[in-house]
Structure 1
Amino acid sequence: VRMSPVSHYLLVFLSVLSLTPVIFYPFGSVAGDTVNIAVEDENSTLINLWSPFVFFGRTYNRTFVNNNGQLTFNQSSSQFISHYFPINGSEDIIAPLWTDVDVSMNGIISYQQYSTGSVLTRATRDINQYFPGLSFTAIWVLVATWDRVAYFYHTGTETSFQVVLISGSDLSFILMNYGDCAVAYNIVQAGYDTINSTAYFKIPGSDNGSFTPNLKNSTNVNVPGRWAFRVDGGPDQNNLQGTQLICS
């Protein structure tokens, strides 16, 4: 039986949806994302933020989505060999999965900002669930997604992860979401670091490439595959009460 073009594209669309982890915020063409050009290492996208984002006392109006799985603020980064936190360096870094990524082989890196709509409603609900007592209302969200990206020099590897920046009033949060992640043969780690490492956090076990597939089972908010942090510099930034460590 020959399938009509409409049925074929519907099947492809549904198969993509089935591969998308439930915990991921909307991304890709369905969300109207802007897509990075597939250039290995050197690719970084400057995003002018619609709303200021406070990161441990410093306020930023822009960020760089870097190819190799991290966000920086003052300058782009093509660094593909991550230094383990704490770096004691001169840059604030948000690293959902910092390693040597090569989207020229496969995968897409995309991003989208929101100031209205259902994504803000979802972010408000999530933050109030993970950080009760704040009566938080999200006014801005940035979603950056690495969808089925490959590791450099390892064809056929596919790894999906996402970072969500959320702000409202003077409060700032990040979510790190993990789908299926391949074993990493290069140096890898997940977490965040600040200038001079006055604050930093490394997801336990994330610096061991053989444990990378278990990121989707780890959490600090009792939601497998999700880590949530308050990062404006206020209390409870690590929210470790519900931590489930990575297991083999």
Structure 2
Amino acid sequence: METFCAFLLLVVGSAVTSAVQNSKDSLLYPYGTDQGDRKNPKLDDGTSPEIPISEPFTFYGKPYYSLYVNNNGVVSFGVNVSQYTPDPFPLEGGWPFVAPYWGDVDNRMGGDVFWRQTQDPAILSRCTADINQYFPKIPFQAIWAFIATWDHVAYFGSASKKVNTFQAVLTTNGNIAFILLNYADIQWTTGRASGGDAKTGLGGTPAQAGFDSGDKVNYYNIPSSRTPEVLNIGGTTNVGVPGRWVFQVDEFVADATTESTDCLL
């Protein structure tokens, strides 16, 4: 009987874990080569080429016409980012960027970094519905989106099988701009060169999440950034959906009065 109970608990526990993971995965917008994505090179601290975008994306009062997708968990404007140990926002260097999970990714060790811009009606409809749900007082209909996904990416110096999957979605109606940061599975916080343990991917200087406009005024550090608790970012939110953070970024300061919430399972 005890053996059967133990087996039953294992099965139920596995089912709950699977259900939770499926829920997290559903937060991610479709990605991959079958969606028309391009992939970054397998290169430590690598980056995409400069990517011209078909619609200007306004980031705190300044329109941008191109961007970079950096292997180390950053979408940047005007400059690529090879730095692997994250600094807290605001940055001294004045780099404007969005950081779903700024840490020392090494896609040579595992995983891929995907990206595409799109005006696919199904994606735009999803962006519109999400933004209307979270910001019902702001009229918004998406005309463009950019999706960057770090899929099962390993960390520098990894001596484990731990990987992270997360995503940044940028969208605009031509005037108002939003970012959505989605977290499916976060298993490590730190690469070895940032002081992390090669066997655990923990310790040292953990990953940073949020965004920085580059003007030292408009920025946001997601709570737990650069602390061990950032490992649990997939259970936090500012819009009532664990694993998702959403911000309006065209000219308004992020609503820092919106407290993060933890997902209790």
Length-normalised TM-score, structure 1: 0.86
Q: Give the SS at the match of 1:59.
A: strand
* AA partner of residue 236 (structure 2): S
Contact 2:24 2:185 in 1 (8 A): no
- 1: CA distance, partners of 2:184 / 2:25: 6
Deviates more, 1:28-37 or 1:158-167: 28-37
* Counterpart mapping for 1:32-181 below 5 A: 32-155=36-159, 156-181=161-186
Instruction: Note the C-alpha offset of 1:90.
Output: 2.1
1:225 counterpart (240, 243, 247) = 243
Contact 2:24 2:183 in 1 (8 A): no
* AA partner of residue 147 (structure 2): V
Instruction: Note the C-alpha offset of 1:82.
Output: 1.3
* Uncovered stretches (5+) of structure 1, i.e. residues with no partner: 1-16
Contact 2:109 2:158 in 1 (8 A): no
Instruction: Note the C-alpha offset of 1:151.
Output: 0.8
Which one has a bigger Cα radius of gyration? Answer: 2
1:192-244: CA deviations, max 9, x gaps? 11223110101100211x32331110000000100000000136x33753621
Instruction: Note the C-alpha offset of 1:245.
Output: 5.1
Length-normalised TM-score, structure 2: 0.81
- 1: CA distance, partners of 2:23 / 2:233: 16
Q: From the two aligned structures, give the one with the greater strand fraction.
A: 1
Instruction: Note the C-alpha offset of 1:133.
Output: 1.6
Sequence identity of aligned pairs in percent? Answer: 38
1:120-144: CA deviations, max 9, x gaps? 0000000011111222100000000
Q: Give the SS at the match of 2:211.
A: strand
Instruction: Note the C-alpha offset of 1:31.
Output: 1.4
Contact 1:45 1:66 in 2 (8 A): no
Q: Give the SS at the match of 1:110.
A: strand
Contact 1:221 1:240 in 2 (8 A): no
- 2: CA distance, partners of 1:134 / 1:19: 27
Q: Give the SS at the match of 1:123.
A: helix
Contact 2:25 2:184 in 1 (8 A): yes
* Uncovered stretches (5+) of structure 2, i.e. residues with no partner: 1-20, 195-204
Q: Give the SS at the match of 2:234.
A: helix
2:222 counterpart (203, 207, 219) = 203
